[in-house]
Each structure stands twice: as C-alpha cells, then as structure tokens.
C-alpha cells in the first residue's frame, strides 16, 4: 500500500527579552540555579503578573513577517496542571484568542516548486523550569531560572508531507525569528525547539490517520530522524494489523527511536480559563504601524534583491541570506570590491574558516574591511587567487592585514615577463618527454607545465600569463 505522511509542527521560540514575560527577573542563560527566580516566578501568594511590552512587540513582528493577522485583542488563559517545574499549578498561555492567527510560510521544494505551509496560530506563554533527576539521591531538583521566560508557540497546519519538508519549514521559521531579532534560536540552549505531530494514511484517503506527538526535538537533524522513525513505525504497526495509539512520544537520539511516554498521558484536562490576573491585550492600529515601520528586510525580500542588485547565483544567495549577519557581512565587502568575488570568498574561504573554528560570522577573525583589503589585491593582480588563499590563512591566524603579509612574505605576483619567461624556458628544457607528448597532441600535458612553472615561481607567476607563454613556446 502507498502511504501519505501528514506532519504538523509546534515550534517553541524563546523570545530574546532581558526580563521575563510577567516579571522583572532576568532571562539570561546559564546563571546559578534559582538566582533568577523572583516572587512571581516562584508563584508566591499575592503577587501579580505584569506583561512585558517587548513580548507583545515581538509577537506582532512575527505575525507581520508570516502574513498573519495580529489580533487587536488577545487573552491570556490558565492551563492547569501540577508539575514542580511550574510552582503556580498552572501555566499562563493563550487559548481561545491568541495574539497571532492565520499566517503562512512559502517553502521552496527541491524541484524548485513553491509550497505554502499554513500557520494556524502563534501564541504567547511562559516557559517552565527545569527538573534535574540525576545524582539527586532519588529526589528531584528544581531550577526555576527558565520558568517565566517568554515563549512564542508557533503552530502549523498539518500541511507537511515528509520529514524533509518539516525540517525545511522549521529552518524557515528559525531564519525568520533570527532576522527579526526576536529569538536567538540557540537550539543547544533550548531557545528553539519543536514538537512534531505525525500521522500516516493510505494515499487518496481524506480522513486523517491517528497521530502521535513527538516532544522536545531540539535539532534539525533530530526532527528529521525522529519523524522518519515515527513514519516507519506507524506504517509497520498498521501493516501488521494493529492500530496507531494517539500518544506522546519521546525521541531518543542515542538509539534513534521514539518511545511512548505512557503514564504521563492520563487526564490531560487542562481546564483552560481566562486568567483573572491579566486583562485582555489590546493592540491598536498605531501600535501595529510602529512595529511595521521597524521591520527589517526579510530573507525572501533580501534574496530577491541580491539576485537583482548583484546578479548572484541562487546557491550563493541561499548561503548569504541564511542569516542576517552573513548578509550584512557580504554587503559590507561587496561595497568595496566586485560583488561576485565577494560572494565567492564569503561563501567559500570565510565560511570554511568559520565552520572549522565553530565561530559565528560576528566573531570572524577577519572583518569585512580586512577582506576587502585582500580582494582588492586579487582585482589589481598583485596576487593570484591561489596565493590569496594563503594570505587569507595567515590573516586568519595572525590577524595582520593583507598588504603587510604580501610584502613581508614577498608574495607579489611576478608580472615581469622576463622572470616568467626564464622559468618557462627552464621547465621546457628540463622536460623533453612531456614536450614531445604535447606536440603529439596530448593537450592535457599543458597542465603539468603550468604546475611546474608555478612551482618554480612559488606560485607567484600570473597563471594566465604562464599559460599563454607556454602555449606560444610549445607550439612554435
């Protein structure tokens, strides 16, 4: 039987505020346990939540970025459940009237076609604390620093049809929240994570199959692997004559499998009701206008502009616009030299060096101005592209500028025809066998000669010039 996969994602993005959603406690990551848990976070009697304005701005930005309706009026609700990482006995969330509804993301699929994924809603809520079970002598330790950190939960329609599409969608959401500066998107620190709802049905069937929910996926790779495992598992269950049970499952990355979380499942009766401690949130047209005015250029618009303004290839554009920082860096370099050369170096040499050292482009050892300094020397033929790579490596390691390195190491390209000619003559004289081969029509041998001359000149000869001169001499 042919199966169709149906996937919907709930993405949780921690909003990059300084203080918590309902109190003035810090949200900084990595502090000593409970040093950022104030009275509101701890759920002391008599305290009241006061909504952080920045959180509303951030949610509105997201809504605008995905073509959604930003609700003029939204309401906070209590989601009731007992768990020690949530001392109040309820999580403040939004239920019937979320702040953002009816948005979408357009995905470009592998075949180049565009597929629209619906965003049902995005609502604001508070994160819970952390429970630690290891080495606690049979007890549980609670750290409430994370409790009360603002989250935007972004719920998609069940529009995705493969794990690849789901990852593609999640990457786009990740890119957008980072462009907007509303979340740092740091998946290792849990700032960006998702739950995946997965079901399968026979191709052609309208009715949805029974779904399972895979919780807390915190890397793009895990999302893909967990969903693929779950698809296989569900198909196997059905083909063996069984039924998929609606349940919550956990992905175990060590074993690459999902496991049932049975037991925690009982009585999911959250008894949502409007939180009497919080008034409805009203967003005026003026407020929304001011948010709109402060919106940055978004990835898709930037990609279109890069194509029109710089005439770059779409592969390069994808890399350059993946993150705002990369795009800004590229534009700073392209302002000082040829844009295509800039694109090649930012996506190539620079990207590789950043990757190797695990650095963000903001932490690059070579800034845009320094890179321009190097690329200008390629443009004016002071160094060849190959030598430039060596200069780049030295700049990266030692931090000095291109000209200083070129001068100190004597890397200036030899443009003196006499010097090149001497090297060419010597190489031809030393390799009569290859000369013979070339004259018999083996054109490929030319590469050997070029290599020899470059070696003889320590790579400083202009390759174009060497090529021409070799051809002239060998053909004469």
Partner 1 sequence: MALTRKDIEYIAHLARLEVHEDEIPAYTDKLGKIIGFIDALDAAETGDLLPMAHPLNMSQRLRPDVVTAADQRDVYQQNAAEKEGGLYIVPRVVE
List 101, 126, 127, 143, residue binding partner 1 (CB under 8 A): 143
Residue 196 beta carbon to partner 1: minimum distance, rounded to whole angstroms? 19
Residue 23 beta carbon to partner 1: minimum distance, rounded to whole angstroms? 6
**34 near partner 1 (CB under 8 A):** yes
The piece of 73-81, 216-224, 325-333, 432-440 that touches partner 1 (CB under 8 A) is: 73-81
Helix (H) or strand (E) segment spanning residue 102: strand 100-108
Q: In b/e form, how buried is each residue of 445-469, taking b as 16+ CB within 10 angstroms?
A: beeebbebbbebbebbbbeebbbeb
**219 near partner 1 (CB under 8 A):** no
**17 near partner 1 (CB under 8 A):** yes
Contact 330, 340 (CB under 8 A): no
3-state DSSP assignment of residue 389: helix
Reduced 3-state DSSP string for 319-376? HHHCCHHHHHHHHHHHCCCCHHHHHHHHHHHHHHHHHHHCCCHHHCCCCHHHHHHHHH
**190 near partner 1 (CB under 8 A):** no
CA distances (Å), origin 80, targets 89, 137, 214, 275: 6, 29, 21, 11
List 45, 112, 204, 263, residue binding partner 1 (CB under 8 A): 263
Binding mask 272-291 for partner 1 (x = CB under 8 A): --x-x-xxxxx---------
Contact 366, 396 (CB under 8 A): yes
The piece of 194-202, 270-278, 313-321, 392-400 that touches partner 1 (CB under 8 A) is: 270-278
Nearer to partner 1, 21 or 173 (CB): 21
For residue 147, give the nearest of 233, 32, 60, 20 by alpha carbon. 20
List 24, 399, 451, 464, residue binding partner 1 (CB under 8 A): 24
**55 near partner 1 (CB under 8 A):** yes
The piece of 191-199, 267-275, 380-388, 408-416 that touches partner 1 (CB under 8 A) is: 267-275
The tokens of 100 are what? Answer: 């953002």
**245 near partner 1 (CB under 8 A):** no
Q: How many residues bind partner 1 (CB under 8 A)?
A: 55
Handedness of CA 385, 386, 392, 394 (dihedral sign): negative
Q: In b/e form, how buried is each residue of 253-278, taking b as 16+ CB within 10 angstroms?
A: eeeebbeeeeeeeeeeeeeeebbeeb
Gyration radius of the chain's alpha carbons:
30
Helix (H) or strand (E) segment spanning residue 12: strand 3-14
**183 near partner 1 (CB under 8 A):** no
**32 near partner 1 (CB under 8 A):** yes
Q: What residues are paired with 9 via a beta bridge?
A: 196
**260 near partner 1 (CB under 8 A):** no
CA distances (Å), origin 139, targets 32, 37, 134, 135, 142: 20, 21, 9, 8, 10
**294 near partner 1 (CB under 8 A):** no
Residue 94 beta carbon to partner 1: minimum distance, rounded to whole angstroms? 11
List 69, 131, 246, 381, residue binding partner 1 (CB under 8 A): 131
Report how far residue 442's alpha carbon sits from residue 440's, in angstroms, rounded to the nearest whole number: 6
List 59, 107, 117, 144, residue binding partner 1 (CB under 8 A): 144
The piece of 11-19, 181-189, 312-320, 380-388 that touches partner 1 (CB under 8 A) is: 11-19
Residue 163 beta carbon to partner 1: minimum distance, rounded to whole angstroms? 25
List 4, 29, 43, 51, residue binding partner 1 (CB under 8 A): 51
How many other C-beta atoms can be found within 10 angstroms of the C-beta atom of residue 473?
Answer: 15
Interface with partner 1 (CB under 8 A): 17-19, 23-26, 32-39, 42, 50-56, 73, 75, 80, 82-84, 96-97, 131-133, 136, 138-144, 261, 263-264, 267, 269, 271, 274, 276, 278-282
């Amino acid at each position: 039987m042919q199966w169709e996969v149906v996937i919907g994602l709930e993405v949780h993005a921690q909003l990059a505020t300084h203080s918590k959603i309902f109190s003035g406690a810090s949200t900084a990551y990595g502090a000593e346990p409970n040093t950022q848990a104030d009275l509101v976070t701890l759920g002391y009697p008599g305290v009241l939540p006061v909504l952080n304005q920045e959180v509303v701005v951030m949610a509105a930005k997201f809504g605008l970025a995905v073509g959604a309706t930003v609700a003029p009026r939204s309401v906070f609700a209590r989601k009731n459940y007992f768990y020690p990482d949530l001392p109040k006995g309820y999580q403040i969330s939004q239920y019937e009237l979320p702040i953002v509804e009816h948005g979408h993301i357009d995905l470009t699929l592998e075949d180049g076609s565009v597929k629209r994924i619906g965003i049902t809603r995005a609502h604001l809520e508070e994160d819970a604390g952390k429970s630690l079970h290891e080495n606690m002598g049979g007890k549980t330790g609670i750290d409430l620093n994370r409790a009360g950190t603002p989250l935007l939960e972004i719920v998609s329609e069940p529009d995705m049809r493969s794990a690849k599409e789901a990852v593609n969608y999640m990457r786009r959401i990740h890119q957008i929240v980072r462009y907007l500066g509303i979340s740092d998107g740091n998946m290792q620190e849990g700032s960006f994570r998702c739950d995946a709802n997965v079901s399968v049905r026979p191709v052609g069937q309208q009715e949805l199959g029974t779904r399972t929910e895979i919780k807390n996926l915190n890397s793009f790779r895990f999302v893909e692997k967990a969903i693929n495992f779950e698809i296989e598992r569900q198909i196997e269950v059905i083909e063996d004559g069984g039924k998929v049970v609606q349940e919550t499952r956990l992905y175990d990355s060590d074993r690459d499998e999902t496991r049932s979380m049975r037991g925690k499942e009982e009585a999911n009766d959250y008894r949502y009701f409007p939180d009497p401690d919080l008034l409805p949130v009203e967003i005026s047209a003026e407020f929304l206008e001011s948010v709109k005015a402060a919106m940055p250029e978004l990835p898709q618009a930037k990609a279109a502009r890069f194509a029109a303004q710089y005439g770059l290839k779409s592969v390069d554009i994808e890399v350059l616009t993946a993150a705002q920082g990369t795009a800004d860096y590229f534009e700073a370099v392209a302002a000082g030299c040829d844009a295509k050369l800039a694109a090649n170096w930012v996506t190539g040499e620079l990207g590789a060096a950043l990757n190797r050292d695990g650095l963000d482009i903001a932490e690059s050892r070579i800034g845009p101005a320094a890179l321009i300094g190097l690329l200008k020397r390629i443009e004016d033929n002071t160094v060849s592209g190959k030598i430039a790579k060596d200069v780049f490596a030295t700049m990266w390691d030692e931090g000095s500028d291109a000209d200083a390195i070129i001068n100190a190491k004597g890397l200036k390209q030899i443009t003196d025809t006499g010097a090149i000619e001497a090297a060419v003559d010597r190489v031809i004289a030393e390799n009569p066998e290859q000369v013979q081969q070339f004259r018999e029509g083996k054109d490929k041998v030319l590469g050997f000669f070029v290599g020899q001359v470059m070696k003889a000149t320590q790579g400083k000869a202009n390759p174009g010039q060497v090529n021409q001169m070799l051809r002239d001499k060998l053909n004469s």
